Structure formats: C-alpha cells, structure tokens
C-alpha cells in the first residue's frame, strides 16, 4: 500500500488525503494491516464497508457463469483498484449497525452461523465453537 500512496486520490479529501498516510501502520499483524486498508477505503469515501470487504477479499467471480452481469462488472471495476488479499479465509465485519461475512475466493474454509432465540448471531468457521443448546437456535 505504501507504494500506492503517491497515486491515490479522493474527491472528498483532495490534497488532505495525505493526512491519512501511512495507510498501514508499522509492526501490525496481517489482520491489522487488512483492518487499516479497509478503514482507509471506507474513510476515503469511495466505498461502503461491504464494498471495501468485497474489494479486498472478492469471491471467485471471473469464471462464475451464474453471477449477475452487473455484479461481475462491479468486481471487474474493483479489481482495477487493487489486487485481492490472500486471506483471511473468513472475514467478518461490522459497522455497529450491520454485520457481514465473506469467504475468500479459494473456498478452503467453511462458515456457519446461528441466530438464537435472544437475537444473538453466532458465526464461526468450525463446528462446536460455542455451546448453544439446539432448542435456542431459531435460524
């Protein structure tokens, strides 16, 4: 990302965009770096949180014959902005109002979710992560 900072632009921030640099802080984990870039994509004003997640960790779209033409065109446009990240295999994100999750294009990790009778959503990539009684699961 550091090498791209010289060519980045924002209609919202103009020259003040440089005040957000560096996009990725030093000495962060892979997940920390991903979080910084996702926050930058949203804060720079060009993408919603789901769009930023779909840009960074796109599904396998290029050869999907069943995918909607408009969605495929969006992925094609988005791919010109940056290369996809390899991992995480499962990405869960929230802005405090909405929650979303996507699997990476390699499809090597499953994801399961449950919603309980007290309106709590549980999501994990493994079975048996939490002890939830079956009768409490509504979805």
Q: Read off the pTM.
A: 0.81
Q: Indicate the number of domains in the chain.
A: 1
Question: 133 in a domain, yes or no?
Answer: no
| pLDDT at residue 39 in the model | 92
Question: 36 in a domain, yes or no?
Answer: yes
Question: 42 in a domain, yes or no?
Answer: yes
pLDDT at residue 131 tops 90: no
Question: 102 in a domain, yes or no?
Answer: no
Question: 118 in a domain, yes or no?
Answer: no
Per residue, the 3-state secondary structure of the chain, as one string, reads CHHHHHHCCCCCCHHHHHHHCCCCCCCCCHHHHHHHHHHHHHHCCCCCHHHHHHHHCCCCCCCCCCCCHHHHHHHHHHHHHCCCCCCCCEEEEECCCCEEEEECCCCCCCCEEEEECCCCEEEECCCCCCCCCHHHECC
| pLDDT at residue 90 in the model | 85
| pLDDT at residue 105 in the model | 81
Q: Domain residues for 73?
A: 2-88
């Amino acid at each position: 990302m550091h090498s791209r900072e010289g060519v980045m632009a924002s209609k919202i921030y103009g020259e003040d965009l440089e005040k957000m640099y560096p996009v990725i802080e030093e000495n962060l984990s892979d997940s920390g770096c991903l979080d910084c870039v996702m926050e930058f994509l949203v804060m720079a004003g060009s993408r919603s949180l789901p769009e930023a997640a779909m840009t960074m960790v796109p599904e396998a779209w290029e050869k999907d014959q069943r995918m909607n033409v408009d969605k495929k065109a969006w992925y094609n446009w988005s791919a010109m902005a940056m290369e996809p990240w390899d991992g995480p295999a499962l990405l869960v994100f929230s802005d405090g109002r909405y929650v979303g999750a996507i699997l990476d294009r390699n499809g090597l990790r499953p994801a399961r979710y449950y919603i309980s009778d007290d309106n709590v959503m549980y999501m994990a990539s493994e079975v048996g992560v939490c002890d939830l009684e079956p009768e409490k699961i509504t979805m």
